[in-house]
Structures are given as structure tokens and as C-alpha cells.
């Protein structure tokens, strides 16, 4: 009887393997119920050292798992200098963990652990791709729900396989859905006499001719609002400016809602279309014909499509009062 083919794990080397690493989930999960591939260009912006803003303040290593010369899994190991400045144990991260083979999980994690330990890491958390401002967590439920951008998709076995490899759940990450319509509007009325308690409240949208300035306001409020949150890594200027510039072709002024109290920015909400609705059936790398189908759909926001809310946040001192001021 022949012995099973051994799994080997090796660091990603060269542009060809990097491309394999980025596209691997689409190859692994193709045909699985509920899986819709993200666009390759978005994955490359997230993971490519040349494009990802993470590498302005972090460094890492990517690994591929192989069986008989075929890639069957992947993982990243990374260290974020912004996290190292925070109090507590020296923390490193793993992320981009994808496979359909439970036997791959332990070898992949061991490779990431070995790399991190040589960087004097004392605690390992994950998965984060590549930190808490990217894709977070393992999907343990909801594989057949509507796919949403920035939400990773994993087969149901992956969470159990990670725990069997010695990891324990640290935090639950929940997603919520809100149906729009009269009932939602009625449930989200401003509290009585809110303006009297808070002072002069003013709402405005995005200034398309001052997008960098409004991006900095978003970053400032976001970092203050999330400063005490578990696992938080502050957004950098490049990260948030890159986000708004990338969204500029499809972003309307009313999708950026800023609440000012007595003339000072206090709370913010940013809502963008769920790109899976317009690109999900085009595959991870649309053909020229696919792009022609995608581009006209980008500005369409009046249809009843699911919408992904990027951020709803208020300054810590005002949070109990300000969040209701950002209706959608």
C-alpha cells in the first residue's frame, strides 16, 4: 500500500509564486456552495508588498503548502511596528489562511510560528490580513450568506482545524444586516432633544474637491473612536487616503456623512456599494468583456442592493450621543 503524499510548506519566492499565493483561494474554493471570488486586483492591493499600505509600517513572509507539486494551502506571518509600540507582549500575526485540507492547517501554522519566533514574537494572533484594518477572522458561520467586501470566506472546517492545532478563540466578530425601508427609518429616529443636549449639530457630505482633507477627518475620528478597542491598529494617512481615492469614481457626496458639533468634526459614517453585487459573477480576474459589464454598474446606487457600511464611529467622548446623528 502506497504511503500518503507528504505536505511541504515553503516561503513564497518570486513574482510567479506571489501571484499563485494571491489567487489560490479562488482555485481552492471554486465550486464550493456560497463562495464568490473577490477581484484579483483588490487581493493584490491587500497583499502585494509593492502595493499594500501595510508594508509602510510592517513586514512579513508568505508561505505555500504543497502536495505533489500542487499548491493546497497558504498563510502569512507578519509583524506590525504600530502594534509593537502598544503595551503588552510583543505580538505578531498570521493571516491569509486558506485551504480545503484540514491536514494542511497545522503545518502552515507551524511555518508561520517559526518565522515569528525568530522575530522575538511572544504572542501570536490571527488571522488578520494583514492587520485589523484589513480582513479579520475566520468565517465559522454564514458561508451561504450574501458575500460582502472585506469579509473573508472560509470553508466550515477551517475554524475547527485551527483550534485543533492549539489555538483558542480570542474574540467573536459579528456581522449585522439591516433592511431598509419605513420600519428601519422609524427605528432609527433621533433621540428627543438631542440637539439641545449636544449643542449646534450640522451634517454634511463628502467634498469631492477636498477629498484628502475629508479623508484625514475620517482617519482622525476613526482612530479616536477605536483607540480602546481590542486588537485595534490605527489607520495611517496613506491607508485612508488610498481608500477614498480608490472609491472616488463610485462615491457620492451623500455616502460620506460627517456630523459636526459646534463646528468641530464629531462623528462620521461612510457607506459604499458592495462590489460583489456588480462583480461577483465576473470571476476573480474579469475578461475585457467582464470589465465592460462591470464599469457601467459601478455608479448605480439607487437599486435595492446590499450596501456595506465601512465605518460608523464617533469620538470617544461623544460616542453615546453622536452615533444616532449619522442616519443612512
Dump pLDDT digits (tens) for 117-150. 999 999 999 999 999 888 899 999 999 988 887 7
Geometric angle at alpha carbon 247, from 308 and 173, rounded to 5°: 30
> Residue 287 above 80 pLDDT?
no
pLDDT value for 195:
62
Sheet holding 307-314, edge to edge: 201-204, 256-261, 264-273, 307-314
Alpha carbon 257 to its chain centroid, in Å, reads 21
The set of cell numbers assigned to 250 is 463610485
How would residue 243 be classed by pLDDT, with cut points 50, 70 and 90?
confident
Greater pLDDT, 190 or 60: 60
Segment 166-189 shows an average pLDDT of 81
> Residue 307 above 70 pLDDT?
no
Provide the strand spans (E) within the chain. Answer: 7-11, 58-67, 70-80, 91-99, 123-125, 128-129, 135-136, 201-204, 256-261, 264-273, 307-314
Greater pLDDT, 67 or 270: 67
pLDDT value for 129:
92
Segment 93-106 shows an average pLDDT of 97
Pick from 135, 74, 84: nearest CA to 108: 74
pLDDT value for 302:
44
How would residue 166 be classed by pLDDT, with cut points 50, 70 and 90?
very high
How would residue 190 be classed by pLDDT, with cut points 50, 70 and 90?
low
* H helical segments located in 208-287: 211-225, 237-247, 276-279
Contact criterion met (CB below 8 Å) for 273 and 305: yes
State the Cα–Cα distance between residues 200 and 41, nearest whole angstrom: 43
> Structure pTM?
0.85
How would residue 291 be classed by pLDDT, with cut points 50, 70 and 90?
very low
Average pLDDT, the chain: 83
State the Cα–Cα distance between residues 74 and 103, nearest whole angstrom: 12
Question: Which region among 16-20, 43-47, 258-262, 307-311 has the lowest average model confidence (pLDDT)?
Answer: 307-311
How would residue 188 be classed by pLDDT, with cut points 50, 70 and 90?
low
Q: Is 19 helix (H, G, I), strand (E, B) or coil?
A: helix
Segment 27-36 shows an average pLDDT of 94
Segment 168-172 shows an average pLDDT of 94
DSSP state of 53: G
Segment 237-251 shows an average pLDDT of 75
Structural domains in the chain plus CATH codes? 7-164 (3.40.630), 182-325 (3.40.630.30)
> Residue 215 above 70 pLDDT?
yes
How would residue 292 be classed by pLDDT, with cut points 50, 70 and 90?
very low
Amino acid at each position: 500500500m502506497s504511503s500518503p503524499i507528504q505536505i511541504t510548506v515553503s516561503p513564497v519566492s518570486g513574482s510567479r509564486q506571489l501571484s499563485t499565493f494571491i489567487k489560490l483561494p479562488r482555485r481552492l474554493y471554486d465550486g464550493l456552495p456560497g463562495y464568490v471570488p473577490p477581484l484579483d486586483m483588490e487581493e493584490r492591493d491587500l497583499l502585494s508588498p509593492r502595493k499594500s499600505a501595510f508594508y509602510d509600517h510592517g513586514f512579513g513572509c508568505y508561505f505555500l503548502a504543497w502536495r505533489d507539486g500542487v499548491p493546497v494551502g497558504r498563510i502569512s506571518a507578519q509583524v506590525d511596528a504600530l502594534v509593537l509600540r502598544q503595551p503588552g507582549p510583543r505580538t505578531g500575526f498570521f493571516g491569509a489562511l486558506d485551504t480545503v485540507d484540514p491536514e494542511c492547517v497545522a503545518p502552515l501554522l507551524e511555518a508561520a510560528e517559526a518565522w515569528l519566533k525568530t522575530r522575538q514574537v511572544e504572542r501570536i494572533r490571527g488571522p488578520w490580513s494583514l492587520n485589523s484594518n484589513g480582513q479579520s477572522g475566520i468565517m465559522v458561520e454564514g458561508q451561504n450568506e450574501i458575500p460582502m467586501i472585506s469579509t473573508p470566506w472560509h470553508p466550515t472546517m477551517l475554524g475547527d482545524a485551527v483550534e485543533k492545532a492549539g489555538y483558542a478563540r480570542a474574540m467573536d466578530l459579528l456581522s449585522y444586516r439591516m433592511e431598509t425601508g419605513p420600519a428601519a427609518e422609524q427605528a432609527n429616529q433621533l433621540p428627543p432633544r438631542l440637539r439641545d443636549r449636544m449643542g449646534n449639530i450640522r451634517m454634511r457630505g463628502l467634498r469631492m474637491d477636498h477629498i484628502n482633507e475629508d479623508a484625514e477627518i475620517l482617519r482622525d475620528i476613526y482612530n479616536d473612536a477605536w483607540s480602546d478597542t481590542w486588537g485595534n491598529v490605527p489607520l495611517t494617512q496613506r491607508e485612508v487616503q488610498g481608500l477614498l481615492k480608490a472609491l472616488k469614481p463610485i462615491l457620492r457626496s451623500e455616502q460620506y456623512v460627517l456630523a459636526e458639533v459646534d463646528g468641530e468634526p464629531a462623528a462620521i459614517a461612510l457607506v459604499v456599494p458592495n462590489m460583489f453585487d456588480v462583480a461577483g459573477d465576473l470571476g476573480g480576474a474579469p475578461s475585457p468583456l467582464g470589465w465592460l459589464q462591470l464599469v457601467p454598474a459601478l455608479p448605480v446606487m439607487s437599486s435595492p442592493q446590499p450596501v456595506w457600511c465601512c465605518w460608523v464611529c464617533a469620538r470617544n467622548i461623544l460616542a453615546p450621543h453622536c452615533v444616532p446623528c449619522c442616519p443612512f
